[in-house]
């Protein structure tokens, strides 16, 4: 399935359709996940699970530059001749994604033994060669991939291959972005891609023109603290960006997760944290949020049997975090955008750390309000707090509530007097409860508050 916007163009009496990139939160979900390399033997099963979880974005390594270009100027995206990487077929992976309605968000990355000592490019030859690789990829997938990300975590020596250089990275992005746009003028290009919100690295990139080269800035805001602690960092980064461009450059969370081993949390706590992270991100106008990862990913050697980051276990069965992701994609399906609270939602008694975020699905007619507590750490034993939620609603409004972990509809006790509506004995949790508020266009038809 492809999500497209069609713009009619009349030329010599003929009608043509021009496809534009689907926008997260508008045409497709604002939430996705990083998934396996194209060579993974279980890729079909994993992508099936993504579809079942209603995930519509997949971030993944397209084909490592050094894997794809083994001979200068020759690119092999389907059968790279490289030991231990047989079966890396990018064509097949992208087709599998589209068959499941999942938007590809590939990373163009990593060094090549043919250039600059297999490191992040530092010479004109290396940058030109990487740009040629990007052009080859964008041209090959012009009709199937709109979104491209340039490198992964260039602020880390592990991925850059040498001491990180924001200046060299920016020079590389400029070359790569220009070549991608030569192949596909409609491409959407993401840069930055830092581990953490590395303001020093990123500001140097901005000073050297990165914001003029990209359409989106992505960051990986990993942390051991509560997900909402990122908000001040988002604000600080946006202030820095505003110093170097008058354009409104979107900020995306391109990779972020919580590990059931290294974060010392249960599978249920991971699910709670995922829901909070994603909802909070969208409330902060983070247009796309990518969870790391779909599959078990052993990073902490202390827990060799723990799926750790994964939405799936080692048998590819959904963990509670996948159920939370599915609920999120159902309750906050596109179109959706954050708005100021038009209902003046209040809580009595007030509980420390309570949050409300309101999102508009259809102007003046359909909203989703997420209510939760910013408790940290989170515990399985926490049973929530009983409160009264107050809000101002028109009489022709309906309210329904859904659990953020299971998606189950919750019973509500509703008392209304004029425009004031109270939800009594409402159990607020340390993860989002979704209120769906719909307002009838025909008040005389008498939609009853429930």
Q: Tokens 């992270």 identify what position? A: 277
The answer on pLDDT for 203 being more than 50 is yes
Integer Cα distance of 129 and 163 in angstroms: 21
Q: Two tokens at 253?
A: 């969370």
CA angle 194, 196, 202 (to 5 degrees): 45
Pick the CATH number of 19-335 from 3.20.20.80, 3.30.70.270, 3.10.20.30, 3.30.590.20: 3.20.20.80
Q: Where are the domains of the chain?
A: 19-335, 339-445
Integer Cα distance of 64 and 125 in angstroms: 18
Integer Cα distance of 61 and 35 in angstroms: 9
Mean pLDDT lowest among 11-20, 71-80, 271-280, 372-381: 11-20
pLDDT for the residue numbered 7: 36
pLDDT in tens, 363-421: 989 999 999 999 999 999 999 999 999 999 998 999 999 999 999 999 999 999 989 99
Confidence of residue 317 (pLDDT cuts 50, 70, 90): very high
Q: Which CATH superfamily hosts domain 339-445?
A: Golgi alpha-mannosidase II (2.60.40.1180)
Residue 235 φ/ψ, nearest 5 degrees: -60, -45
pLDDT in tens, 81-122: 777 787 899 999 999 999 999 999 999 999 999 999 999 999
pLDDT in tens, 262-279: 999 999 999 999 999 999
Domains 19-335 and 339-445 share a fold: no
The answer on pLDDT for 68 being more than 60 is yes
Which of 60, 149, 46 is closest to 100 using CA atoms?
46
Integer Cα distance of 88 and 77 in angstroms: 8
Distances (CA, A) of 254 to 31, 56, 195, 378: 10, 14, 10, 24
Distances (CA, A) of 39 to 67, 149, 234, 309: 12, 20, 35, 20
The DSSP letter of residue 21 is P
């Amino acid at each position: 399935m492809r999500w497209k916007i069609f713009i009619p163009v009349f030329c010599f009496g003929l009608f043509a359709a021009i496809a534009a990139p689907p926008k997260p939160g508008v045409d497709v979900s604002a939430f996705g996940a990083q998934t396996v390399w194209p060579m993974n033997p279980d890729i079909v099963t994993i992508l099936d699970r993504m579809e079942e979880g209603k995930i519509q974005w997949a971030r993944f390594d397209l084909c490592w530059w050094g894997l794809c270009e083994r001979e200068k100027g020759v690119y092999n995206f389907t059968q790279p001749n490289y030991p231990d990487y047989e079966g890396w077929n990018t064509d097949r992976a992208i087709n599998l994604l589209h068959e499941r309605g999942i938007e590809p968000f590939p990373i163009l990355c990593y060094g090549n033994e043919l250039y600059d000592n297999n490191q992040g490019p530092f010479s004109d030859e290396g940058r030109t060669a990487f740009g040629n690789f990007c052009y080859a990829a964008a041209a090959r997938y012009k009709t199937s991939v709109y979104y491209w990300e340039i490198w992964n975590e260039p602020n880390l020596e592990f991925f850059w291959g040498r001491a990180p250089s924001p200046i060299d990275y920016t020079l590389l992005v400029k070359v790569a972005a220009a070549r991608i746009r030569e192949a596909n003028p409609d491409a959407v290009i993401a840069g930055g891609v830092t581990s953490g919100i590395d303001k020093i690295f990123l500001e140097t990139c901005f000073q050297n023109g990165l914001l003029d080269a990209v359409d989106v800035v992505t960051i990986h805001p990993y942390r051991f603290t509560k997900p909402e602690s990122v908000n001040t960092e988002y604000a600080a980064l946006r202030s820095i960006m505003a110093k170097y461009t008058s354009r409104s450059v979107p900020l995306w969370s391109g990779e972020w997760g919580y590990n059931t081993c290294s974060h010392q949390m249960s599978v249920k706590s991971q699910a709670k944290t995922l829901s909070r992270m994603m909802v909070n991100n969208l409330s902060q106008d983070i247009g796309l949020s990518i969870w790391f990862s779909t599959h078990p990913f052993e990073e902490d050697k202390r827990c060799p049997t723990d799926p750790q980051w994964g939405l799936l276990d080692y048998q590819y069965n959904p963990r509670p975090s996948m159920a939370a992701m599915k609920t999120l994609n159902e309750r906050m399906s596109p179109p959706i955008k954050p708005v100021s609270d038009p209902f003046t939602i209040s809580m009595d008694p007030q509980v420390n750390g309570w949050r409300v975020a309101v999102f508009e699905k259809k102007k003046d007619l359909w909203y989703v309000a997420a209510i939760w507590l910013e408790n940290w750490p989170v515990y399985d034993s926490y049973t929530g707090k009983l409160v009264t939620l107050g809000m101002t609603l028109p009489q022709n409004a309906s309210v329904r509530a859904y659990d953020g972990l299971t998606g189950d509809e919750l019973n509500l006790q509703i008392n209304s007097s004029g425009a004031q509506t109270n939800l009594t004995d409402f159990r607020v949790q340390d993860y989002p409860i979704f209120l769906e508020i719909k307002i009838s266009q025909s008040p005389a038809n008498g939609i009853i508050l429930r």
